[in-house]
Amino acid sequence: MSLTRLNIQAFRNITSAQLLTGTGLNLIYGQNGSGKTSILEAIYFLGMGRSFRSHLSQRVINNEDDKLTLFATLTLPRGESKIGLRRFRSGETEVKIDGDKVKRLSTLAETLPIQVITPESFSLLFEGPKSRRQFIDWGAFHADPEFYGAWVNVRRILKQRNQLLRDGASYTNIQYWDREFVRYAERVTEIRNLYVDSLNELLKGIIEEFLPQVDVKVSFTRGWDSKIDFALLLENQYPRDLATGHTVSGPHKADLRLRVGNLPVQDALSRGQLKLLVCALRIAQGKLLKQQIDKHSIYLVDDLPSELDAQHRQLLLKQLADTGAQVFVTAIEPAAIVDSLDKPPSRIFQVAQGCVTVIE
C-alpha cells in the first residue's frame, strides 16, 4: 500500500500543496520552520484523525483559516482508494473514504497504518507506560480484529468501575461490573501477549544489526500478577481500590519492559543507541504487520539524521527500505540522506515557507 497523491490545505503554515509521492523513499528537505514536519503531521492526521505533536487538534489549522482539508489517493492491493478529512475550528471532523462518510476514526487507522519516528520518539522508552502501551496496542489493533472492541469495553467498564469506587459503592455493586471487566481484560491481555511474542521474534534480528554488542530483552507485563486469578485479585483489592478511588491493577497498567541485563534501557544505552532501539521497535512492527495481515505501514521519519552517525544512518535507511514500505523522511540538508542511500530517493521535495516544490 502506498500514498500516491496528497493534497494539503490550511494545515499549519501550508496554505495549499499537492504532492505526487513516490512508492519508496520520499525525501522532504528545507530550513528550520519551513514546514517539513507539518507534511508528516498532515499524513499522520489523515491516518489517525489527530496530531503526533499536539493534543490540541485545533492548533494544526492554519491561523488564517477556519478549517483544514486533507485528501489522499492510496494504492491498495484491491485498487485505488480515496481518503478525505476536514477538520473545523469548532471541533467537528468530517471523514470520507471513497465518497462514503466514516463515523469511527478507527476505520481511518485500519486503512492507513502509520509508523512515526521523531526525535521525541525516546518518549516511548522514557515516559510512563502509556506510550509503550499505545505501541503494543497499535500492533494488537491491526493484528486481531477482536482487539478494538474488547479494548473499548475495558475502557468503558473501567470508567464506570472507578466512578463507583469514588462513590463508595459496596463490593456487591462492583462485582456486577467485574464479571464483564475480567472477560474483556483477559481477551485484551491475551491478544497483547501474543502480539509481543511475535514481535520479539522479529525484533531480535533487527536489534542485532542496530546494536550488535547489546543484549536487549523485551517483555510484556499485563498489569497484574499473572499467577493470580484476575477476578479474585479484584475482589481482594477492593478495600485498596476503594481507598484510592480507582482500580489499582488491570490491563490499563500493562507495559512493555525493555532491559539490558538488570538495567532499564534508558540507564544502559546512549541517546543514539536509544534512538536506534526505538527505530528497531517500529521497523519490527511494520514487518510484523506485513507478515500478519499482508499490509504495509507508511513510515514518517522526522529529522532522521539527528543523533545518528553516518554508518547508523545508512543502516536505518537500509532497514526501512527492507520493509518494502513507503517512507517519508525529513532533513535540513538533502545530502545527509542522499549520501547514505544505495539508490536515489523516489521523490525529493523542497519546502520553503510552507510552499512545497518537487525537485526530482
Ligand X SMILES: Nc1ncnc2c1ncn2[C@@H]1O[C@H](COP(=O)(O)OP(=O)(O)OP(=O)(O)O)[C@@H](O)[C@H]1O
Q: Which residues bind ligand X (CB under 6 A)?
A: 12-13, 30, 32-38, 59, 61-63, 332
The smaller minimum CB distance to ligand X, of residues 279 and 351, is found at 351
- To the question of whether residue 26 is assigned a binding role by annotation, the answer is no
Whether 93 has a binding-site annotation, put simply, is: no
Whole-number Å distance between alpha carbons of 215 and 274: 13
| Vertex 334: Cα angle to 295 and 68 (nearest 5) | 60
| Distances from the Cα of 97 to the Cα of 9, 50, 260, angstroms | 18, 17, 44
Determine whether the annotation assigns residue 34 to a binding site.
Answer: yes
Question: Is the CB of 12 or the CB of 161 nearer to ligand X?
Answer: 12
In the bound state with ligand X, the residue whose beta carbon lies nearer, of 33 and 245, is 33
Q: Which of 64, 100 has the CB closer to ligand X?
A: 64
- Strand spans (E) along the chain: 2-11, 14-20, 25-29, 67-76, 79-88, 93-97, 100-102, 114-117, 216-221, 255-260, 263-264, 298-301, 326-331, 347-352, 355-358
- How are beta strands 114-117 and 25-29 bridged, if at all? unpaired
Q: How far is the CB of 344 from ligand X (least distance, A)?
A: 22
Q: Is 205 helix (H, G, I), strand (E, B) or coil?
A: helix
Closer to ligand X by CB, 54 or 236: give it. Answer: 54
Please tell me whether residue 127 adopts helix, strand or coil conformation: coil
> Grid coordinates in use for 185?
481484560
54 vs 173, beta carbon nearer ligand X: 54
d(CA 193, CA 222): 8
Closest CB 329 distance from ligand X, rounded Å: 12
Least separation in angstroms between CB 339 and ligand X: 19
Residue 252 near residue 192 (C-beta atoms within 8 A): no
User: Is 37 part of any known ligand binding site?
Assistant: yes
Q: Is 47 annotated as a binding residue?
A: no
Q: Kindly report the three-state secondary structure assignment for every residue of 55-71.
A: CCHHHHECCCCCEEEEE
In the complex, the smallest distance separating the C-beta of residue 333 from ligand X, rounded to whole angstroms, is: 11
- CA–CA gap between residue 220 and residue 133 (Å, rounded): 10
Shortest Å distance, C-beta 5 to ligand X: 20
**33 annotated as belonging to a binding site for a ligand:** yes
Residue 23's nearest CA partner among 346, 335, 265 is 346
Asked if residue 273 belongs to a known ligand binding site, the reply is no
Ligand-binding site membership of 250 (annotated): no
Min CB(19)–ligand X separation in Å: 14
Binding residues: 30-37
Binding residues for ATP: 30-37
